[in-house]
């Protein structure tokens, strides 16, 4: 059993790699397509708004199904939900790729494939957060460290995404769809052989008891939970809006295409990845530090995003601003993961963390289509509005996330 998850005290490197592969694959499944959306627009003969739906359809499917997957993972087990979900992601990639390759008007079938991938994402990536909590049990320092690695894998996927997407599309414009299936297969094999789930000591509550307990949790601790949700929605909205906008500006304003564009687009994402990795190793279950980092990250995000539109014609300045944005988002992502995972009882961990993951996908889904509308006439106003919203969320964090004691959920009465 050297290559399996043995206990809360000893989790093998291969187990961590296997868990990290899932958010990596799911991130590649979405972010890899952003730099090649202009190519899809030309090859498939569709509008800018339709190309944005290639991203959004994936995310919308995830929004509605993630909470269901979270409950099923609490009731029947993490692995039994993760594996079929990865298989769906594999099938979705094949459908989108084949349609692009063989069908003259492939848009509808591309969306169908993307929806299947979104369903797969709903049952795979969000389950990793509670799984980490299960494996490390009450060791908050190890949980925070592992969550930092998981979130770094997610952000590293964002760094690789524009480079891989542009490279694959340079050979065949629909190759990114097929590559998602290959990556999903690798993750399936890793999960199958290297993740061993701890045995449950008692059966989970029945559905009626479960719903009652979940409602009570939100009733008693909803203020800090919904604050975390709001921050997650906002961060992912800003990230995907800016990536969509930056991808468009690099091609249309700065005449950067193909692999060169992919490497340029990866610069702010590399900043995000490094920041996320360092933050995950430093927070160590310290709720006071988490709150400070979250507030600092939100202020930095609000300031930097406000200048994105004004610097779009100055490439170096634009990359500096978006790299600062990536740095600030990297501060917040592992921090939010740790807050929502370490402060939820195991029995509800899958469900509550899945609601959080679902909220993040709301931001992912909203970003590209809204930006496709805003950037025609109101890009500066939309970015400034996001900056103002960041300050509003700072106020919520200050008011509702307490540092005098950890907001660990109380046993809810049934």
* Number of helices followed by number of strands (H, E) in the chain: 13, 0
pLDDT over 50 (residue 60) = yes
**Residue 5 main-chain phi, psi, to 5 deg:** -75, 110
Band of residue 407 on the pLDDT scale cut at 50, 70, 90? very low
Cα–Cα distance, 171 to 194 (Å, whole number)? 34
pLDDT in tens, 174-214: 899 999 899 999 999 998 888 877 666 556 666 777 778 77
Longest dimension (CA), the chain: 61
pLDDT of res. 410: 41
Name the more confident of 385 and 156. 385
Domain contains 407: no
Name the more confident of 389 and 199. 389
Domain contains 182: yes
pLDDT of res. 347: 62
pLDDT of res. 262: 87
Strands (E), 253-394: none
pLDDT of res. 393: 96
Min mean pLDDT across 132-141, 196-205, 219-228, 254-263 is at: 196-205
Domain contains 2: no
pLDDT over 90 (residue 288) = no
Min mean pLDDT across 298-302, 380-384, 388-392 is at: 380-384
Domain contains 6: no
Name the more confident of 304 and 283. 304
pLDDT of res. 329: 95
Domain contains 30: yes
Residue 187 belongs to domain spanning: 13-400
Over range 292-320, report the average pLDDT.
Answer: 95
Instruction: Read off the CATH number of the domain in which 245 is found.
Output: 1.20.1250.20
Over range 17-25, report the average pLDDT.
Answer: 86
- Let me know how long the chain is: 414
Band of residue 251 on the pLDDT scale cut at 50, 70, 90? confident
Min mean pLDDT across 52-66, 129-143, 160-174, 352-366 is at: 129-143
Tokens 């000893």, residue located: 10
Domain contains 277: yes
Would you tell me how many other CB atoms lie within 10 Å of the CB of residue 403? 13
pLDDT in tens, 326-349: 999 999 998 998 888 777 766 666
Contacts with 383 (C-beta within 8 Å, 6 or more apart), sequence order:
305, 306, 307, 308, 309
pLDDT over 60 (residue 387) = yes
pLDDT over 60 (residue 2) = no
**Residue 402 main-chain phi, psi, to 5 deg:** -90, 145
Domain contains 405: no
Over range 35-59, report the average pLDDT.
Answer: 83
pLDDT of res. 411: 42
What tokens appear for 18 in the block?
A: 């296997």
Over range 263-269, report the average pLDDT.
Answer: 90
pLDDT over 90 (residue 297) = yes
% of the chain at pLDDT higher than 90: 32
pLDDT in tens, 94-136: 999 999 899 988 999 999 999 999 888 878 876 787 788 777 7
Contact 55, 240 (CB under 8 A): yes
Over range 3-12, report the average pLDDT.
Answer: 53
pLDDT in tens, 147-174: 778 877 877 887 888 889 888 988 888 8
3-state secondary structure of 11: strand
pLDDT over 60 (residue 413) = no
pLDDT of res. 98: 95
pLDDT over 80 (residue 6) = no
pLDDT over 50 (residue 3) = no
Domain contains 3: no
| Domain count within the chain | 1
pLDDT of res. 271: 93
Contact 351, 67 (CB under 8 A): yes
Cα–Cα distance, 23 to 25 (Å, whole number)? 5
């Amino acid at each position: 059993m050297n290559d399996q998850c043995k206990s809360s005290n000893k989790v093998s490197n291969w187990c961590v790699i296997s868990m990290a592969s899932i958010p990596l694959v799911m991130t590649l499944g979405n972010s890899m397509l952003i730099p090649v959306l202009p190519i899809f627009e030309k090859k498939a003969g569709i509008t800018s708004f339709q190309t944005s739906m290639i991203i959004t359809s994936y995310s919308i499917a995830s929004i509605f199904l993630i909470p269901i997957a979270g409950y099923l993972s609490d009731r029947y087990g993490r692995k039994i939900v993760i594996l079929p979900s990865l298989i769906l992601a594999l099938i979705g990639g094949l459908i989108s790729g084949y349609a692009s390759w063989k069908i003259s008007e492939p848009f509808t079938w591309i969306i169908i494939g993307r929806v299947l991938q979104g369903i797969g994402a709903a049952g795979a990536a969000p389950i990793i957060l509670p799984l980490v909590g299960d494996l490390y049990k009450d060791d908050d320092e190890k949980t925070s460290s592992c969550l930092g690695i998981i979130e770094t894998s997610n952000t590293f996927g964002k760094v690789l995404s524009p480079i891989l997407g542009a490279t694959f599309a340079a050979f065949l414009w629909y190759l990114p769809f097929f590559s998602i299936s290959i990556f999903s297969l690798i993750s399936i094999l890793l999960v199958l052989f290297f993740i061993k789930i701890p045995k449950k000591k008692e059966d989970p509550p029945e559905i009626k008891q479960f719903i009652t307990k979940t409602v009570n949790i939100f009733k008693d601790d909803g203020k800090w939970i919904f604050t975390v949700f709001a921050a997650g929605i906002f961060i992912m909205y800003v990230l995907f809006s800016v990536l969509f906008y930056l991808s468009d500006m690099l091609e249309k304003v700065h005449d950067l295409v193909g692999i060169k564009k992919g490497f340029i687009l990866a610069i702010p994402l590399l900043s995000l990845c490094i920041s996320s990795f360092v933050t995950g190793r430093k927070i160590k279950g310290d709720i006071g530090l988490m709150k400070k980092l979250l507030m600092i990250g939100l202020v930095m995000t609000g300031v930097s995003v406000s200048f994105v539109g004004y610097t779009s014609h100055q490439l170096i300045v634009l990359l500096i601003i978006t790299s600062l944005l990536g740095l600030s988002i990297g501060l917040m992502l592992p921090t939010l993961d740790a807050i929502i995972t370490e402060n939820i009882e195991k029995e509800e961990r899958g469900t509550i963390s899945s609601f959080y993951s679902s909220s993040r996908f709301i931001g992912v889904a909203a970003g590209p289509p809204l930006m496709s509308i805003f950037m025609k006439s109101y890009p500066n106003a939309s970015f400034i509005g996001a900056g103002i919203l960041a300050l509003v969320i700072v106020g919520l964090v200050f008011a509702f996330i307490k540092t005098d004691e950890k907001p660990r959920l109380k046993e809810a009465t049934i």
